[in-house]
Chains A and B, each alone.
Chain A
Amino acid sequence: MKLNLVHLYPDLLNLYGDRGNIMCIKKRLEWRGIECEVKEVLHGEYVNTDEADLIFLGGGSDREQEIVCEELKKNKKALIDYVENDGAMLAICGGYQLLGNYYQTKDKKIEGLGILDIYTQWEEERLVRNIIVNSDLFETPVVGYENHSGRTYIGSYKPLGKVFFGLGNTGRGDFEGVVYKNIIGTYIHGPLLPKNPQVCDYMLLKALRKKYGEDVELEKLDDEIELMANKCIVDRYSEEKNRVAEAIKRRI
């Protein structure tokens, strides 16, 4: 088997260790003897969705996101078709915001891809902290770090999960991320995938099953260190005193 991973604009969107997500996808395939080819689409280049089994769209600064938005407009239709035909895609932070109709920043409106009928509104206070989300897609909680000024309103779409600790989509601490067909959009960095191998494997399975049929299964890997790193954060915020300490720290 072989998976083609398309990494959109790594030259523009490379914040918060996002390349760790690419490394994770690549390694978790290689560790199972599955070939992975990463195609980087750089600024000014055309996105060929026919060649993609999985698309990754990361986060960047507002300035860089604006450049990306101009670029993506040229590929809008192809990307919408890709998603509607069950193409797998993972979009994080800035990339997540771009899935929607628009991102209203402090002083301008950045038009999104319109793949999902959602939108994002800028607010002064940045939402910055560790985040833990319980998702019905996985047994293990999803852990990471959020750092965003945008509040994303997903309407009636299904969220990735319920926030156990942190602030999430709108800053209210209720829900985080979005799931639609074979897309996951989320604010969670960390980077997301290495400490959440369950999310990585979910995406891989979606991509491989689309390409090779529903009976594809993934070999189990030794995730001891991954799960310990994940649990370390979950345990920390499962203790009331640590949640309180964090809240106090944020006030002073």
Chain B
Amino acid sequence: MSIKSAAAVSLAKFFGYLSCKIRKSKGQTLPGFIAKKIDGNILSDLSQQVRGDVFAVMGTNGKTTTNALLYGLLTKEGKKVVINRTGSNMLNGVISAFVLAAGNDGKLDADFACIEADEFASGSILPKMKVNYLIITNITRDQLDRMGEVDIVYDKVLEAVKNFDGTLVINGDDVLTYSLALESGKKFVTYGIDEQVFDEASRSEIRESTFCKRCGSRLKYNFFHYGQLGDYYCEECGIKRPEMDYAAKDIKITEDEIAFTVNGKRIEIRAKANYNIYNSLSVYALLDDAGIMNDEMIKGFAEFDFRNNRENVYHIGESDIQIHLVKNPIGFQQKVALIKKDESEKDVVILINDEYQDGQDVSWLWDVNFEELRNENIKSITATGKRCLDMCLRLKYEEIECAYDFDVENVVRGHIEKKNRNVYLIVNYTGLYSSNDMLERLKKEYEEGEK
């Protein structure tokens, strides 16, 4: 620990504290920015101080949940763990996490670190950080205006793992991720789901990689899970879904719980959406391969709350309002499946903004199949946000009635006043924090009103 990096840490922490007080912001990136300016090696320096392994999570969907689960299991064991929360997954956010966890003397007291990294920022994060394990959840179509075509994302991630010398933990059901692992020449373990558990509503017609990344010929599939995930093979070059090191079998799905067996161990999770099998499986694979997993820890899966900040439920008046984040077609499709699975009556609000973080290009809404929202259990659908008219128009093409109102608070208040019990609020990125804040505020207002 040099004097320079100690100074970088303490100054960065101070400004972070100030910025928090002034802007009341939740995301933390400023300390990282300052620390990096003072000491260019700060990330390498701090991550080296972690006593045990540093884990990183990348991929289009499932990063935040996977990382939170990993963190949850480790901290339950009494470990000290560094994590970058609240989606601060670009370089400055990652450095901030380490800086804020360190003492003013620049010394870091941590057993492990769990770091979520944006695919686009991976090239600037990975080479500078000690990483022992890297989970790649999947590579699918994301914000095309920011990320570019899926091939560009693939190349970015491949480039980023070039100098990586740890172990990759990869989703073997995703041909792109698997191709990437093979092409990288790195050590890797695979995980996947052996049974067909995803229903029709989770699938969309739009898929990446119907053509083999290696040889360009058309891939064949025995079955699809969703997106391009499934049991694939290429007749030309012979690439095929591998025999998984960690395969989920004997899957049992009930309304609030999912249980599955992996290598003889039964894992239970309290989650509604089936894709959480992947999130849990990758965490199990990583911890098992790293020699950290034990029987006590397995129980931790059942105690983890999958409804983290991104899937929160607010009880206001007589309404339950659950907020869900969607960022890309595959993610949205999973939420459509989730809404369909809920058989009780409900109202749906969809908030679509087009800020930079959301993706300015809203064309991805046309890659989602909304047909399944034509359902008698859905009492109403209202589009809101800056691009609510685009959402309305999209649903017009499914012949689904959709109202619009640019003001989300107005819409939510309406549902609360009408005592609508079950409200789904689907938001994209910039709508998440503002909606959470709004719901907190409305909740307080109603609680005070009742007194």
Q: Do A and B interact?
A: yes
List chain A positions with a Cβ less than 8 A from chain B: 11-12, 14-20, 23-24, 27, 43-44, 61-64, 67, 126, 128-130, 145, 147, 189-191, 194-195, 225-226, 228-229, 232, 249
Known contacts A16-B144, A24-B397, A191-B366; is A229 also within 8 Å of B361 by CB? no
- Looking at the assembled complex, report how far the CB atom of A66 sits from the nearest CB atom of chain B, in whole angstroms: 9
Q: Which residues of A contact B148 (CB under 8 A)?
A: 126
Q: Which residues of B contact A229 (CB under 8 A)?
A: 389-390, 392-393
10 other contacts beyond A19-B367, A128-B361, with CB at 8 A cut-off?
Answer: A12-B211, A17-B364, A20-B366, A67-B211, A130-B360, A145-B362, A147-B144, A189-B363, A194-B366, A225-B389
B251 at the interface (CB under 8 A from A): no
B414 at the interface (CB under 8 A from A): no
- Looking at the assembled complex, report how far the CB atom of B367 sits from the nearest CB atom of chain A, in whole angstroms: 5
Q: Are A17 and B145 within 8 A (Cβ)?
A: no
Which residues of B in the span 136-182 have a Cβ within 8 Å of any Cβ on A? Answer: 144-145, 148-152
Q: Are B389 and A61 within 8 A (Cβ)?
A: no
Q: Which residues of B contact A18 (CB under 8 A)?
A: 366
Q: Which residues of A contact B364 (CB under 8 A)?
A: 16-17
Q: Are B145 and A145 within 8 A (Cβ)?
A: yes
Q: How far is the CA of A67 from the CA of B218 in the complex (A)?
A: 11
Interface size class of B (residues with CB under 8 A): 20 to 34
Q: Which residues of B contact A64 (CB under 8 A)?
A: 211
Known contacts A11-B210, A195-B393; is A61 also within 8 Å of B356 by CB? no
Residue among A24, A43, A145, A232 making CB contact with B363, cutoff 8 Å:
A145
B365 at the interface (CB under 8 A from A): yes
Q: Are A249 and B390 within 8 A (Cβ)?
A: no
Q: Are B365 and A17 within 8 A (Cβ)?
A: yes
Q: Are B392 and A225 within 8 A (Cβ)?
A: yes
Q: Are B396 and A61 within 8 A (Cβ)?
A: no
Q: Which residues of B contact A194 (CB under 8 A)?
A: 366, 393-394, 397
Q: How far is the CA of A251 from the CA of B130 in the complex (A)?
A: 32
B255 at the interface (CB under 8 A from A): no
List chain B positions with a Cβ less than 8 A from chain A: 144-145, 148-152, 205-206, 210-211, 216, 218, 356, 360-367, 387, 389-390, 392-394, 396-397
Q: Which residues of A contact B393 (CB under 8 A)?
A: 194-195, 225-226, 229
Q: Are B360 and A15 within 8 A (Cβ)?
A: no
**Which of A24, A61, A67, A249 gathers the greatest number of chain B CB atoms within 10 Å?**
A61
Q: Which residues of A contact B390 (CB under 8 A)?
A: 195, 229
Q: How far is the CA of A128 from the CA of B363 in the complex (A)?
A: 13
Q: How far is the CA of A145 from the CA of B358 in the complex (A)?
A: 14
Q: Which residues of B contact A43 (CB under 8 A)?
A: 211, 218
Q: Are A128 and B145 within 8 A (Cβ)?
A: yes
Q: Are B145 and A147 within 8 A (Cβ)?
A: yes
Q: How far is the CA of A195 from the CA of B397 in the complex (A)?
A: 12
Give 17 pairs: A residue, B residue, CB < 8 Å, sorted on A: A11-B210, A11-B211, A15-B144, A17-B364, A17-B367, A18-B366, A19-B367, A24-B397, A61-B151, A62-B149, A64-B211, A67-B211, A145-B360, A145-B363, A191-B363, A225-B392, A229-B389
Q: Are B151 and A190 within 8 A (Cβ)?
A: no
- Looking at the assembled complex, report how far the CB atom of B427 sits from the nearest CB atom of chain A, in whole angstroms: 19
Q: How far is the CA of A53 from the CA of B362 in the complex (A)?
A: 30
Q: Which residues of B contact A129 (CB under 8 A)?
A: 145, 360
Residue on B nearest A222 in the bound complex, by CB: B396
- Looking at the assembled complex, report how far the CB atom of A69 sits from the nearest CB atom of chain B, in whole angstroms: 12
Q: Which residues of A contact B392 (CB under 8 A)?
A: 225, 229
Q: Are A19 and B366 within 8 A (Cβ)?
A: yes
Q: How far is the CA of A159 from the CA of B223 in the complex (A)?
A: 45
Q: Which residues of B contact A195 (CB under 8 A)?
A: 390, 393
Q: Which residues of B contact A24 (CB under 8 A)?
A: 397
Q: How far is the CA of A14 from the CA of B393 in the complex (A)?
A: 20
Q: How far is the CA of A103 from the CA of B56 in the complex (A)?
A: 39
